[in-house]
Amino acid sequence: MEKQVATSIFESLSSGLRLDVFRLLVKKGPDGMVAGEIANALDVPPANLSFHLKALSQARLVTVEQEGRFQRYRADIPLMLDLIAYLTDECCTGSPAKCVEKVAASNCAKELLPPPVTHSNESDNMNILFLCTGNSCRSILAEAVFNHLAPTGWKAMSAGSQPTGTVHPRSLALLAREGIDTNGLHSKSWDNLPQVPDVVITVCSNAAGETCPAYLGAVLRAHWGVDDPAHATGTEAEIEAAFTAAYRILRRRIEAFLALPLVELARDRTRLKAELDRIGALSA
């Protein structure tokens, strides 16, 4: 996130009413609210609300969708989490273990902000965490593909903030057809990671209104949004196509990442972040 964007967000939220509106919309999540519902919930005249909703929209804190005669407002959760990442990216002078007690004493939503962790000293090797909510489809596919293709010293793992506990059978079948090892793949929580991540890549879909979990700590963060094939409906062929599409998008991005000069990038966080963001825009 650019400093100018963060400044604009804070300026918009400097109004008490706009802060109340944004927090209310965050609570409502992907369902959002129309202006009348917001006015009733906050006990403010609708005429006084329109100016503040426009200001929040201009700051990109809320999205607006036309529904007949009404407009539905939703908090831009990914932008909020980007702001959190911007504020905490170099927490505690790069030693996040120093922040453990402070995080534990805060009111941060524990399902969104796990305890910060420390990192290994191997600058040329990196642990990549693919993160989503359920850890049953997309993050599992990304973990398996990355480890199938990655050079020695670069390892991927996956986790969920609210893991389902099972890997989707279609994910396992697809990987098997592609000749990718599925041994050891399981749905797990980010509270029980086998290694400490250096890079965290969220794969939830902004377009679908998903709330991406925000990993707190001195890690490099990127977002590679992919539609969740577990929610696909239709014929057998259409559902399989959704899984294949997710796999192909993730594989193309991972291949693009692994084609980079990894040793150089492991020592240049700014450049690595830029490359990860660029790759996150690639489609199949």
Could you report the per-residue pLDDT of 224-266, keeping only the tens digit for each? Answer: 999 999 999 999 999 999 999 999 999 999 999 999 998 888 8
| Annotation says 108 is catalytic | no
- Can you give the residue range of the structural domain that contains 205? 92-279
Is 41 found in the same domain as 109?
no
Residue 207 confidence (pLDDT) = 46
| Annotation says 137 is catalytic | no
Cβ(49)–Cβ(38) below 8 Å: yes
User: Choosing from 91, 99, 137, 212, which is the catalytic residue?
Assistant: 212
| Annotation says 204 is catalytic | yes
User: Choosing from 91, 99, 132, 137, which is the catalytic residue?
Assistant: 132
* Residue 86 in domain: no
Cβ(169)–Cβ(141) below 8 Å: no
Radius of gyration of the chain (CA): 20
**pLDDT (tens digit per residue) in 142-188:** 999 999 999 988 999 999 888 999 999 999 999 999 999 999 999 99
Cβ(224)–Cβ(277) below 8 Å: no
What CATH number is given to the structural domain containing 19? 1.10.10.10
Is 271 found in the same domain as 138?
yes
The model scores a pTM over 0.75: no
At residue 281's C-alpha, the angle toward residues 64 and 114, to 5°, is 75
